[in-house]
């Protein structure tokens, strides 16, 4: 048993607090490798991916103590420079230890990462960026080995062909202690990058322009440990925002900056929901009907690919024909077949999904193919007639801290079987 059981039909209401951002916290704990001593990271989400990353860090000699959203990381003077397959294969994001390990040790060996099943997820830009900083890189199907001649990387101009989140982060973490100046052009601008840069700056790094497409890093000799609060999870917040609009309910979402969701929230308004932004919070009230809107995913500040599956569910309940275009990942329409089995009218062609709505949804046994698809299927269950069972629920545990418990607190009838570790922790 590894499932969500959802009984649809409730309008959600109340207030929910989101956790710290998965996609920020994972990189920030990896960045802690850059300085000997104790770093403390707070507002860390209680999710399976964080446990996997903590194990990767333990694997290179860091002591990681986790307690109620706090990760206390004791980084020794000598760290191991090899991240083995047994740990790395659980988590694609573990590739981000490559930059810090290389910067700290002068060489690194990281097994090829595993992770979400989202089509072609290459790391060529990570490797090309590190090579620009002087790293000599060799790789096989199993592992990547990188070596900094003379033990230290050197600053360089790194021009990314696509604003890749992971490549920007790896290059940034490698550059902070490189000799000289690094300029990253076409850098990713996600709020999680700004958060990582804030952590690195608090450690003593000299970074300008984080959050813009042009980031300049002046390498420093060494960094010192620090304490940091992770930014709120805009994707978790967006998931609850969709749940509110979809069920015609009214939900206040706390712990996130609504400006990080500018485009998704304006799409909700175009679809007929009311959105009231506040300071570190916002409220979404769904109307009785939803209207079709078109959605196109793009790197930040564009519409996030991590909310695309949830909006697919929303649009299946909107009157008219919507077109949803996925530009970031090529494997992100896998939930369409499951939604069609529930009654949705969605056809896909290449990276476009055409959604005709509204069509009534019916409870079925469906399968989560990845993290966001799983969350979206739970949302579909909230408006489906009867019982929806979402199998492979562990995908959702990777990135949502107690999704079922938080939805229940808003009035939904959702259970997770068996109960997730995050729910026990709450
Ligand atoms: N890409 C390459 N080569 C590279 C790097 C990326 O071709 O060297 C391609 C990828 O295959 C993909 C696109 O570029 O098609 C975007 O990849 P990006 O590097 O921006 O994404 P990522 O760092 O792998 C992070 C998040 C994802 C999120 C994306 C986009 C983490 C751990 N993951 O992935 O989060 O969708 O940025 O915002 O930060 C999720 O949380 O569900 C999730 C998948």
Ligand 1 center from residue 164 Cα (angstroms): 6
Q: Tell me if 402 CB under 6 Å of ligand 1.
A: no
Q: Tens digits of per-residue pLDDT, 263-285?
A: 999 999 999 999 999 999 999 99
Q: Tell me if 364 CB under 6 Å of ligand 1.
A: no
* Among 24-38, 77-91, 100-114, 410-424, the least confident range: 410-424
Residue 86 pLDDT = 84
Q: Tell me if 125 CB under 6 Å of ligand 1.
A: yes
Residue 85 pLDDT = 83
The atom number, within ligand 1, closest to the CA of 123 reads 8
Picking from 178, 120, 182, 126, the residue whose alpha carbon sits closest to that of residue 157 is: 182
- In which band, very low, low, confident or very high, does the pLDDT at 114 lie, cut at 50, 70 and 90? low
Residue 421 pLDDT = 66
- In which band, very low, low, confident or very high, does the pLDDT at 389 lie, cut at 50, 70 and 90? very high
Q: Tell me if 121 CB under 6 Å of ligand 1.
A: yes
Residue 331 pLDDT = 86
Residue 1 pLDDT = 66
Report whether pLDDT(241) > 60: yes
Distance CA 176, CA 164 (A): 18
The atom number, within ligand 1, closest to the CA of 120 reads 11
Q: Tens digits of per-residue pLDDT, 7-19?
A: 999 999 999 999 9
Average pLDDT value for the chain: 95
- In which band, very low, low, confident or very high, does the pLDDT at 294 lie, cut at 50, 70 and 90? very high
Distance CA 345, CA 333 (A): 14
Residues classed as catalytic: 116
Report yes or no: 251 and 410 within 8 Å, Cβ to Cβ: yes
Q: Tell me if 122 CB under 6 Å of ligand 1.
A: yes
Q: Give the predicted TM-score (pTM) of the model.
A: 0.97
Ligand 1 center from residue 328 Cα (angstroms): 8
- Work out the percent of the chain whose per-residue pLDDT is above 70: 96
List Cα–Cα distances, 111 to 86, 90, 171, 395, 398, in angstroms.
9, 11, 18, 22, 20
What is the average pLDDT across 35-46?
98
What is the average pLDDT across 188-210?
98
Q: What angle do CA 58, 61, 67 make, to 5 degrees?
A: 40
């Amino acid at each position: 048993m590894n499932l969500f059981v959802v009984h649809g039909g409730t309008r959600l209401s109340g207030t929910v607090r989101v956790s710290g951002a998965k996609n920020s916290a994972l990189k920030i704990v990896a960045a802690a490798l850059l300085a000997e001593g104790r770093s403390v990271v707070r507002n860390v989400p209680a999710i399976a991916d964080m446990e996997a990353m903590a194990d990767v860090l333990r694997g290179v000699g860091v002591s990681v103590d986790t307690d109620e959203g706090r990760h206390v990381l004791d980084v020794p003077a000598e760290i191991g420079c090899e991240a083995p397959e047994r740990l790395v294969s659980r988590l694609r994001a573990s590739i981000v230890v490559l930059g810090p390990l290389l910067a700290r040790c002068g060489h690194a060996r990281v097994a090829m990462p595993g992770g979400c099943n989202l089509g072609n997820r290459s790391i060529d830009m990570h490797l090309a960026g590190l090579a620009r900083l002087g790293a000599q890189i060799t790789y096989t199907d199993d592992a990547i080995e990188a070596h900094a001649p003379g033990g230290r990387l050197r600053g360089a101009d790194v021009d990314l062909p696509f604003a890749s989140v992971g490549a920007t982060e790896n290059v940034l973490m490698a550059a902070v202690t490189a000799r000289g100046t690094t300029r990253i052009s076409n850098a990713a601008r996600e709020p999680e990058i700004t958060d990582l840069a804030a952590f690195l700056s608090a450690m003593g790094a000299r970074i300008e322009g984080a959050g813009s497409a042009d980031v300049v890093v002046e390498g420093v000799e060494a960094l010192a440990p620090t304490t940091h609060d992770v930014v709120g999870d805009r994707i978790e917040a967006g998931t609850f925002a969709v749940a509110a609009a979809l069920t015609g309910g009214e939900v206040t979402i706390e712990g996130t900056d609504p400006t990080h969701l500018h485009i998704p929230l304006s799409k909700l308004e175009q679809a007929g929901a009311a959105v009231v932004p506040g300071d570190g919070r916002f409220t979404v009230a769904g109307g009785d009907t939803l209207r079709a809107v078109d959605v196109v995913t793009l790197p930040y500040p564009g519409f996030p690919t991590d909310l695309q599956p949830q909006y697919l569910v929303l649009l299946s309940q909107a009157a008219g024909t919507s077109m949803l275009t996925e530009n970031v990942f090529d494997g992100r329409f896998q939930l369409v077949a499951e939604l069609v089995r529930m009654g949705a009218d969605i056809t896909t062609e290449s990276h476009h999904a055409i959604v005709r709505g509204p069509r009534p949804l019916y409870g079925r046994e469906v399968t989560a193919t990845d993290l966001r698809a799983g969350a979206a299927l739970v949302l579909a269950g909230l408006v489906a007639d009867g019982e929806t069972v979402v199998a492979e629920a562990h995908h959702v545990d990777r990135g949502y801290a107690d999704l079922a418990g938080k939805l229940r607190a808003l009035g939904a009838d959702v259970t997770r079987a068996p109960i997730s570790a995050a729910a026990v922790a709450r």
